Amino acid sequence: MTDHVVGIDIGGTKLAVVVADKHGNILTKVRKPTEAHRGRAQAIDAILAMVAEGVASAGLKWEQISGIGVSCGGPLDTKTGIVYSPPNLPGWDAVPLKRLIEDAFGIPTVIENDANAGALAEWRFGGGRGYDHVVYMTMSTGIGGGIVVGGQVYHGANDSAGEVGHQILLPDGPPCGCGKRGCLEALCSGPAIARRAQAAVKAHSNTRILALAGGQIDAVKSEHVVDAARDGDELAMRLVDETAYYMGWGIANLVNILNPDIVLIGTIAIAAGDLLLNPIRETVRQMAMQRPAEVVKIMPAQLGERIGDLAAIALVI
Amino acid sequence: MTDHVVGIDIGGTKLAVVVADKHGNILTKVRKPTEAHRGRAQAIDAILAMVAEGVASAGLKWEQISGIGVSCGGPLDTKTGIVYSPPNLPGWDAVPLKRLIEDAFGIPTVIENDANAGALAEWRFGGGRGYDHVVYMTMSTGIGGGIVVGGQVYHGANDSAGEVGHQILLPDGPPCGCGKRGCLEALCSGPAIARRAQAAVKAHSNTRILALAGGQIDAVKSEHVVDAARDGDELAMRLVDETAYYMGWGIANLVNILNPDIVLIGTIAIAAGDLLLNPIRETVRQMAMQRPAEVVKIMPAQLGERIGDLAAIALVI
Residue A27: count of CB within 10 angstroms of its CB: 15
| Mean pLDDT computed over A197-219 | 94
DSSP code of residue B182: S
Host H or E run for residue B258 = helix B234-258
The residue of chain B with its CA nearest to that of A145 is B257
Band of residue B1 on the pLDDT scale cut at 50, 70, 90? low
Cα distances (angstroms) measured from residue B70 to each of A103, A128, B199, B311? 52, 33, 39, 8
Residue A1 confidence (pLDDT): 64
A77: CATH: 3.30.420.40
Range of weakest confidence among A148-157, A294-303, B81-90, B182-191: B81-90
Pair (A157, A223) in one structural domain = yes
Contact list in A for residue B168 (CB cut-off 8 A) is 249, 252-253, 287
B118 in a domain, yes or no? no
| Integer Cα distance of B193 and B222 in angstroms | 6
Measured CA to CA, the distance from residue A119 to residue A31 in angstroms comes to 22
> Is residue A88 located within the same domain as residue A173?
no
Q: Using one digit for the tens of pLDDT, what is the confidence trace for A125-145?
A: 999 999 999 999 999 999 999
Alpha carbon distance, N-terminus to C-terminus of chain A: 15
Report the predicted TM-score, pTM, of the whole model to 2 decimal places: 0.96
Q: What is the pLDDT of residue A241?
A: 98
Name beta bridge partners: B299.
B264
B99 domain-assigned: yes
Residue A288 C-alpha, separation from nearest chain B C-alpha, in angstroms: 8
| pLDDT tens digit sequence for A98-117 | 999 999 999 999 999 999 99
- B168 → closest Cβ in A160, A287, A295: A287
Geometric angle at alpha carbon A152, from B290 and B316, rounded to 5°: 95
The region of weakest confidence among A89-93, A160-164, B225-229 is A89-93
- Chain B: nearest CA to A145, how far in angstroms? 9
Residue type, A68: I
Is B200 within a domain?
Answer: yes
pLDDT average, residue stretch A192-197: 98
**How many domains would you assign to chain B?**
2
ipTM score of complex: 0.96
Same domain, A36 and A168: no
Based on the fold, state whether residues B99 and B142 are members of the same structural domain. no
Check CB contact under 8 Å for B163 and A256: yes
Distances (CA, A) of A164 to A7, B72, B245, B299: 25, 31, 20, 24
* B120 part of a folded domain: no
Residues 138-157 of B with CB under 8 A from A: 147, 149, 154-157
Whether residue B158 and residue A260 make contact (CB cut-off 8 A), yes or no, is no
Q: Is residue B218 part of a domain?
A: yes
Mean pLDDT of B1-26: 93
Which of A149, A254, A291 is nearest residue B257 as measured by Cβ atoms?
A: A254
Range A179-182 contact pairs with CB under 8 angstroms and sequence separation of 24 or more:
A180/B286, A180/B287
Q: State the best of A158, A253, A283 to mutate against chain B, taking most chain B CBs within 10 Å.
A: A253
Q: Which residues of chain A lie closer than 8 angstroms to B296, CB-CB?
A: 157
Could you tell me where the DSSP H helices lie in chain A? Answer: 40-57, 97-105, 114-125, 184-188, 190-203, 208-212, 222-230, 234-258, 267-272, 274-287, 290-295, 307-314
For residues A296 and A310, membership in a common domain is answered with: no
From A255, which residue of chain B is nearest by alpha-carbon distance?
B161
- pLDDT band of A205, cuts 50, 70, 90: confident
Please indicate if any CB of chain B lies within 8 Å of the CB of A89. no
B315/chain A closest Cα distance in angstroms: 21
**Residue A37: what pLDDT?**
85
**Cβ of A94 under 8 Å from any chain B Cβ?**
no
* A156: chain B residues, CB-CB within 8 Å: 133, 258-260, 292
- CB-nearest to A295 from B132, B157, B261 is B157
Kindly provide the residue ranges of all beta strands, DSSP E only, lying in chain B, ordered along the sequence.
4-10, 14-21, 26-33, 65-72, 76-77, 82-83, 109-113, 133-137, 145-149, 152-153, 262-265, 297-300
Q: What is the tens place of the pLDDT at every residue in A243-263? A: 999 999 999 999 999 999 999
Is the same domain home to A138 and A268?
yes
Predicted pLDDT at A197: 97
Asked whether A71 and A112 are in contact (CB, 8 A), the reply is yes
**Residue B177 forms contact with A (CB below 8 Å):** no
What whole-number distance in Å separates Cα of residue B317 and Cα of residue B310? 10
Give the range among A16-20, A204-208, A225-229, B27-31 with minimum mean pLDDT. Answer: A204-208
Is residue B61 located within the same domain as residue B208?
no
Average pLDDT of chain B to the nearest whole number? 96
Cα–Cα distance, B248 to A180 (Å, whole number):
14
Same domain, B133 and B12: no
pLDDT-derived band at B39 (thresholds 50, 70, 90) equals confident
- Domain of B74, in residue numbers: 4-113+306-314
**Residue B132 shares a structural domain with residue B30:** no
As a whole number of angstroms, the distance between CA A99 and CA B310 comes to: 45
Chain A residues within 8 A of B147 when measuring between CB atoms: 257
Statement: residue B129 has pLDDT above 90: yes
Residues A140 and A87 in one domain: no
* B69, B147, B308 from B113: Cα distances, Å: 11, 12, 11
3-class SS of residue B22: coil
The CA–CA distances, whole Å, from A185 to A28, A145, A247, B65, B126 equal: 35, 11, 9, 52, 36
Q: Are residues A220 and A192 in the same domain?
A: yes
The C-alpha angle A200, A205, A208, rounded to 5 degrees, equals 90
What's the rounded Cα separation, in Å, for the pair A19 and A249? 40
Note whether residue B253 is domain-resident: yes
Three-state DSSP class for A68?
A: strand
pLDDT for the residue numbered B142: 95
- Amino acid at position A23, single letter: H
> Which chain B residues are within 8 Å of A294, Cβ to Cβ?
158
> How far B286 CA lies from chain A's nearest CA (Å)?
8
From chain A, the residues in CB contact with B177 under 8 A are: none
B104 and B190 share a domain? no
